[in-house]
């Protein structure tokens, strides 16, 4: 469906500009007129889609949540999915997302189901997203399913934000340390060095190291930048290699504190998503296969992918997890066994997810509380060391001159 750009007046008489998807200019004018918008000028337009939007999806969690909230509300009001999408595609501000919704609407008009239309955009709509929509369509409870999906995404988004927030603070402090140190060495040290060179005195070793560092930065700054860029580029391309990523993921799981935290994060996501899919009516085998495409840690992903063979052969999920006690603690496997025996696996998985999520949140608080002061101490020690290396020779200068 074509996109039209218009210049118009709103009910208050204020000049406005916007875009609208419509079959023709006349239909677009009529649609806007119903909204009490008087069109002055309308013409075909193409929405600009940025490179970053094409490459990385370009649709945030927040935008997807808003989309789901509005879609659920419109469907509950009794409108069809086709009509709901027709309304939403004109209201979405993200040009890339609006284009996707328009294409989905067109697919549905051509006879495809909503979930099949969503499957065309795996970077935007995850397998969990699509499968839950499919279940909702099949059961005739699409509005309720969308509302449930919104709750899942909201909770997952909050969980991810806490993890990202804990990581950002130390990175910012580390970058600040580097910038301050380079600034002191590059711009302050040369001015002090000029004084010492004039008197030709023997300087303390820390000051001499500082002077050499300044000389290196001055002469080989390009080498430092090049080496940093090469390291970042190499790391980026190495992460593209699956075997390298898996090796790093395995190493991460073995680290003292971060390893335990990573395991709990993976278990939280695995149990939460599996529980949600089971509640929606998807079988355990299919739930795990969907999950395997969502889990980020490749060690966990590869192990969960192999679960279907074990389950198809008559094995229990808990027995399969017991084979890897390094990935799944005994408490979790025993609770899952209890859930299987009592027929309440989905509820048990939700309990496990809640327990692990609570522990993860507590650990993140503790780690964040410790890392902040530690990084500040490191920054103070580094900057203080540079300052002392500069100030000490100044105070010692009279003695150094006399000893010549």
Interval 129-149 mean pLDDT: 84
Q: Which two tokens stand for residue 306?
A: 């192999």
pLDDT at residue 163 in the model: 77
Q: What is the pLDDT of residues 174-198, one digit of tens each?
A: 888 888 888 877 787 777 777 666 6
> What is the spatial distance between Cα 322 and Cα 368, in angstroms, rounded to a whole number?
32
How far the first Cα of the chain sits from its last, in Å, is 87
| 3-class secondary-structure state, position 323 | coil
Interval 1-15 mean pLDDT: 78
> What is the spatial distance between Cα 356 and Cα 270, in angstroms, rounded to a whole number?
11
pLDDT at residue 27 in the model: 81
| 3-class secondary-structure state, position 42 | strand
pTM of structure: 0.67
Strand order in the sheet with 15-21: 15-21, 3-9, 38-44
Q: Which two tokens stand for residue 384?
A: 């203080």
Residue 215 CA: distances (Å) to CA of 35, 202, 211, 390: 68, 18, 6, 15
Q: Assess whether pLDDT exceeds 70 at residue 268.
A: yes
pLDDT at residue 55 in the model: 40
> What is the spatial distance between Cα 1 and Cα 107, in angstroms, rounded to a whole number?
10
Q: What is the pLDDT of residues 354-377, one digit of tens each?
A: 999 899 888 888 887 787 788 788
> What is the spatial distance between Cα 212 and Cα 276, in angstroms, rounded to a whole number?
60
> What is the spatial distance between Cα 59 and Cα 63, in angstroms, rounded to a whole number?
6
> What is the spatial distance between Cα 202 and Cα 208, in angstroms, rounded to a whole number?
9
For the chain, what is the largest distance between any 2 Cα atoms, rounded to a whole number of angstroms?
Answer: 95
Exposure letters 288-323 (e unless 16+ CB within 10 A, then b): bbbbbebbebbbbbebbeebbebbeeeeebbebbbe
| 3-class secondary-structure state, position 358 | helix
Which residue did the predictor score with more confidence, 93 or 45? 93
pLDDT at residue 334 in the model: 93
Which helix (H) or strand (E) segment is 88 a member of?
Answer: helix 81-88
Per-position DSSP letters for 205-253, written without gaps between them: HHHHHHHHHHHHHHHHHHHHHHHHHHHHHHHHHHHHSHHHHHHHHHHHH
Least-confidence region, from 117-126, 158-167, 315-324: 158-167
Q: Which two tokens stand for residue 257?
A: 């504190």
List the one residue out of 380, 402, 371 whose CA is nearest residue 165.
371
> What is the spatial distance between Cα 252 and Cα 250, in angstroms, rounded to a whole number?
5
pLDDT at residue 400 in the model: 56
Are residues 128 and 290 in contact, defined by beta-carbon separation less than 8 angstroms? Answer: yes
- Helix runs in 241-297, H state only: 242-254, 256-279, 284-292
Q: What is the pLDDT of residues 207-243, one digit of tens each?
A: 788 888 888 888 888 888 899 899 889 888 888 888 8
């Amino acid at each position: 469906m074509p996109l039209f750009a218009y210049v118009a007046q709103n009910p208050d008489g204020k000049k406005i500009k916007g875009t609208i998807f419509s079959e023709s200019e006349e239909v677009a004018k009529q649609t806007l007129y119903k909204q009490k918008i008087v069109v002055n000028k309308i013409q075909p337009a193409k929405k600009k889609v940025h490179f970053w939007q094409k490459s990385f999806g370009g649709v945030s969690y927040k935008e997807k949540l808003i989309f789901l909230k509005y879609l659920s509300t419109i469907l509950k009001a009794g409108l069809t999915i086709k009509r709901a999408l027709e309304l939403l595609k004109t209201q979405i501000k993200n040009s890339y997302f609006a284009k996707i919704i328009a294409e989905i609407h067109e697919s549905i008009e051509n006879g495809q189901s909503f979930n099949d239309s969503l499957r065309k955009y795996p970077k935007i709509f995850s397998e969990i997203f699509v499968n839950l929509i499919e279940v909702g369509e099949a059961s005739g409870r699409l509005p309720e399913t969308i509302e449930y999906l919104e709750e899942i995404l909201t909770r997952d988004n909050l969980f991810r934000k806490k993890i990202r927030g804990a990581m950002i603070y130390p990175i910012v402090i580390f970058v600040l340390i580097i910038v301050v140190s380079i600034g002191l060495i590059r711009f302050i040290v040369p001015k002090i060095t000029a004084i010492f060179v004039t008197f030709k005195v023997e300087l303390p070793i820390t000051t001499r190291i500082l002077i050499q560092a300044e000389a290196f930065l001055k002469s080989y700054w390009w080498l430092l930048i090049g080496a940093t860029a090469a390291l970042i580029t190499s790391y980026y391309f190495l992460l593209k290699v699956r075997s390298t990523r898996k090796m790093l993921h395995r190493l991460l799981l073995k680290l003292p504190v971060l390893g335990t935290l990573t395991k709990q994060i993976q278990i939280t996501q695995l149990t939460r998503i599996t529980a949600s899919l089971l509640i929606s009516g998807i079988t355990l085998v299919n739930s795990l296969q969907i999950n395997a495409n969502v889990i980020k840690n490749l060690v966990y992903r590869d192990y969960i992918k192999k679960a279907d063979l074990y389950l198809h052969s008559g094995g229990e999920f808990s027995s399969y997890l017991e084979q890897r006690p390094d990935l799944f603690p005994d408490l979790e496997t025993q609770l899952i066994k209890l859930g299987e025996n009592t027929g309440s696996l989905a509820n048990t998985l939700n309990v496990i997810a809640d327990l692990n999520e609570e522990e993860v949140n507590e650990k993140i608080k503790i780690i964040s509380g410790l890392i902040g002061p530690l990084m500040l101490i490191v920054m103070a020690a580094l900057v203080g060391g540079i300052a002392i290396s500069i100030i000490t020779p100044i105070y010692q200068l009279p003695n150094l001159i006399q000893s010549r």
